Amino acid sequence: MHGLGKIRNPQWAVPGGDCAALIGQMSQHTGGPYHDFITNIVMPNVTVFAQLVAWGETLVGVSLLLGLLTRLGGLVGVVLALNYWAAKGDYAHLSGYTTYDIAAAVLSFISLALPTGKTIGLDGLMGRRPRIDRVRQEPALAGTAPP
């Protein structure tokens, strides 16, 4: 639910706002194709990416807290966390593998890989609904009496 504060912040998604400042700081620590992606695609479209980040974080949080669509929430959580990790340039240092972003990626991967929402969550409740069994009528075989 980390994104809820970003959704409510009027300075988050405006050009030159909080998201643009954060991305500008992070882009100084990146290099190669990821740096080109940040500077040539993200920064010119910062308002779109700011909204994607804010809503993505919020919806992932709701998904994982409620246990609703946990596999999708886990997948998006892994992508977001690894993206933040790469943007900080932490992959070049051993200490970068012990950060919050890696922990968030591992925990999101657990929700992706294991049926966490089916144990305690709305995914499990929706899966336990009583199903209406339809009576199948099989065609009578030749030479046999119907039951």
- Residue 3 identity (one-letter amino acid): G
Q: Model's pTM, two decimal places?
A: 0.74
- Residue 12 identity (one-letter amino acid): W
Handedness of CA 68, 70, 71, 72 (dihedral sign): positive
For 56-109, what is each residue's pLDDT tens digit?
Answer: 999 999 998 898 999 999 999 999 999 888 887 767 677 777 788 888 999 999
Q: Is residue 98 part of a domain?
A: yes
Q: Is residue 135 part of a domain?
A: no
For 26-40, what is each residue's pLDDT tens digit?
Answer: 888 787 888 888 889
Residue numbers of the domain that contains 106: 4-127
Q: Are 58 and 4 in contact (CB under 8 A)?
A: yes
Number of domains in the chain: 1
Q: Is residue 146 part of a domain?
A: no
Choose among 93, 94, 96, 101: nearest CA to 77. Answer: 101
